[in-house]
Amino acid sequence: MTGYGMTDGISRLDARAGDLARRLQRDLSPDTDLWPRIAARLKSEAPPRPWRMPRAIEAGRDLWPDIRARIDAGDRFDGTNREPHPWGAGLAAAAGLVAVTALILMLAMRLGDFRLPGEVTASADSSAGAATVALPAWMADTFAQFDEAAAGTSAAALGDTARSVQRDFLMVRGQRLQIEQTLAAYGGDMNLRAQWRHVYLAELRLIDETEKLANLYGTRTEI
Amino acid sequence: MNIRKRFVLLACLPVVAHATPVDQRIDAASDGQVEVHNISGDIVVSGWDEASVHVTGEISEAAERLDVRRDGDRVIIEVVYPNDWRGDGNFGGDTDLRISLPRGSSLLVETVSADVTVNDVEGEQDLTSVSGDVITETFAAEARLQSVSGDVLVNGQNAAARTSASAVSGDVEMNRISGEISVESVSGDVEIIGGTIERAELASVSGDVSLRGELAANARVRADSTSGDVELLLSGNTAADYDLTTFSGGIDNCFGPRPTRTGRGDSGASLSFTEGGSGARVEVSTMSGDIGLCN
């Protein structure tokens, strides 16, 4: 497998997860307690550190995109001071070391704690077969209120939508738990880790859609 | 008033049986923006050569009025409901709108349960529904299409453009689409019948993903599905770096080397190879879904 492929994909998934998380934060009403829970999950369920580290140098990346244009425009050294400064090599090495250290620290600070959630690890260790999946209490309440509000009204089509979201949420969460169980055995598999992000992103999106549906029906206050 | 507040009001409307005909026309810029806000029913939009917006149809009796107004280059079409309306949770019937607008307009439609159908609109499109279907024709401008449980169907002209679509349980189908494509679904299927693909990001969790088209010289294609199958059927140019991997599914390819068994469980495979030398990349990843690659 070429290294650039999977790492590129992971970067894109990370970016999309970040965008979705920010949109969730923006969309949720100020009095909701959902966002802190999501934020906590994003932090606690962040994937293990090795997932994020590239396995190969990306081919063909231009680290200084402007240099060709500058050279072509004549913005170049005149050749009169080509002798290297006696400290040049040392300074360059030190600067490189500082840059690499800063990058590692930045990644570490951004990624935080990479352990799998305790409940999931326990489930995986138990080898008890398929994971049990249930709706979070707040989602179950939302869907129950939604069904009650929609029953017998001309808005019943949206009740079908809510049920499809609920069904998909359970399916997606089930998929995520299965992946996490598999990860317990194959923790180094980059494809699995990318799939974990992919499914978790879908789970976040379904949380987002549930919130939108709840707000559409005014279940927070009107019902 | 945003769509959420409008819907909260409408969720409390009582059952209403009758609808009121509407017929309004307003001058519009040939390349302005038209916004449509409706809750339920049908919205059919067509582009024409006149410099005006014409709205016909009927609004539910629960609605107070149809508001069609112009603000600079924007024309706003909004079904307005009484602020103090309270009822038993009904929409008060459907509001069906037929809208003609300058074909160079950009179009924004927000709805909850209404189906949206758009033809001959050549500007940007931003179409959103929750339970309704979104069906549109696209040209060379960007299109952003969303539904939750409804299907999304796009018919393009093979003009290079940026087209994105998302659904949850609905299917997404795109025909004659070229340029940049981004599609997300959860349980719905994704089917792209494209022209020349420059960039495509296709994702589903349990739905199948299918892409047919030709790769541009530096194309980037990525397709992910967890339990759904992914099928790539490439016509013409197939030169690219390929990176296909499935944890427990299989890979069936018509060109390139045989896939490598990864030895995880009963199946699982990966396949990485370079075909030609175009600089294009094709990446496919699944958990348990099968991967097909043919030309």
Range of the domain at A202: 3-60+116-217
Does any domain span residue A19?
yes
Does any domain span residue B123?
no
Provide the shortest C-alpha distance from residue A87 to chain B (in Å): 40
Provide the shortest C-alpha distance from residue B186 to chain A (in Å): 7
pLDDT higher than 90, residue A96? no
Does any domain span residue A68?
no
Prediction pTM value:
0.71
Residue B225 contacts residue B244 (beta carbons within 8 Å): no
pLDDT of residue A186: 77
Q: Are residues B77 and B168 in the same domain?
A: no
Q: What is the pLDDT of residues A175-187, one digit of tens each?
A: 888 888 888 887 7
Q: What is the pLDDT of residues A102-115, one digit of tens each?
A: 554 444 434 333 33
Reading the block at residue B228, the tokens are 């759904």
Q: Are residues B141 and B224 in the same domain?
A: yes
pLDDT of residue B267: 76
Cβ neighbors of B261 (< 8 A, separation 6 or more) are: B267, B268, B269
Does any domain span residue B126?
no
Q: Are residues B211 and B283 in the same domain?
A: yes
Q: Which among A154, A175, A199 is the nearest to B15, CB-wise?
A: A154
Does any domain span residue B118?
no
Neighboring chain A residues of B89 at a CB cutoff of 8 Å: 149-150, 152-153, 155
Q: What is the pLDDT averaged over residues A127-143?
A: 66
pLDDT of residue A89: 62
Report chain B's terminal Cα–Cα distance, integer Å. Answer: 51
Rounded CA gap, A106 and A100, in Å?
Answer: 10
pLDDT of residue A73: 63
Does any domain span residue A54?
yes
Using the 3D structure, point to which of B74, B109, B144 is the last residue of a domain. B109
Residue B36 contacts residue B107 (beta carbons within 8 Å): yes
Residue A105: what are its φ and ψ, rounded to 5°? -65, -40
CB contact under 8 Å between A172 and B88, yes or no, is no
Using the 3D structure, point to which of B94, B109, B124 is the last residue of a domain. B109
Does any domain span residue A110?
no
By DSSP bridging, strand B96-102 and strand B52-60 are: antiparallel
pLDDT of residue A219: 40
Does any domain span residue A44?
yes
Q: What is the pLDDT of residues A187-205, one digit of tens each?
A: 778 888 888 988 999 999 9
Range of the domain at B155: 133-295
pLDDT band of A163, cuts 50, 70, 90 = confident
Does any domain span residue B117?
no
CB contact under 8 Å between A216 and B90, yes or no, is no
* Type and span of the H or E element at A222: none
Provide the shortest C-alpha distance from residue B203 to chain A (in Å): 8
Residue B172 contacts residue B223 (beta carbons within 8 Å): no
Reading the block at residue B23, the tokens are 């017929």
**CB-count exposure of residue A106 (10 Å: 0-12, 13-18, 19+):** exposed
ipTM of the complex: 0.80
Residue B151 contacts residue B129 (beta carbons within 8 Å): no
Query: Count of domains in chain A?
Result: 1
Residue B100 contacts residue B46 (beta carbons within 8 Å): yes
Residue with more model confidence, A126 or B180? B180
Does any domain span residue A35?
yes
Query: Count of domains in chain B?
Result: 2
Q: Are residues B84 and B186 in the same domain?
A: no
Cβ neighbors of A87 (< 8 A, separation 6 or more) are: none
Reading the block at residue B118, the tokens are 């758009």
Residue B198 contacts residue B216 (beta carbons within 8 Å): yes
DSSP string for B174-225 = EEEEEEEEEEE-SSS-EEEEEEEEEEEEEEESSS-EEEEEEEEEEEEEEEEE
pLDDT of residue A23: 58
Rounded CA gap, B62 and B80, in Å?
Answer: 9
pLDDT band of A87, cuts 50, 70, 90 = low
pLDDT of residue A76: 45
Does any domain span residue A102?
no
Q: Are residues B150 and B290 in the same domain?
A: yes
pLDDT higher than 90, residue B121? yes
Q: Are residues B139 and B98 in the same domain?
A: no
pLDDT of residue B14: 43
Neighboring chain B residues of A161 at a CB cutoff of 8 Å: 130-131, 148-149, 169
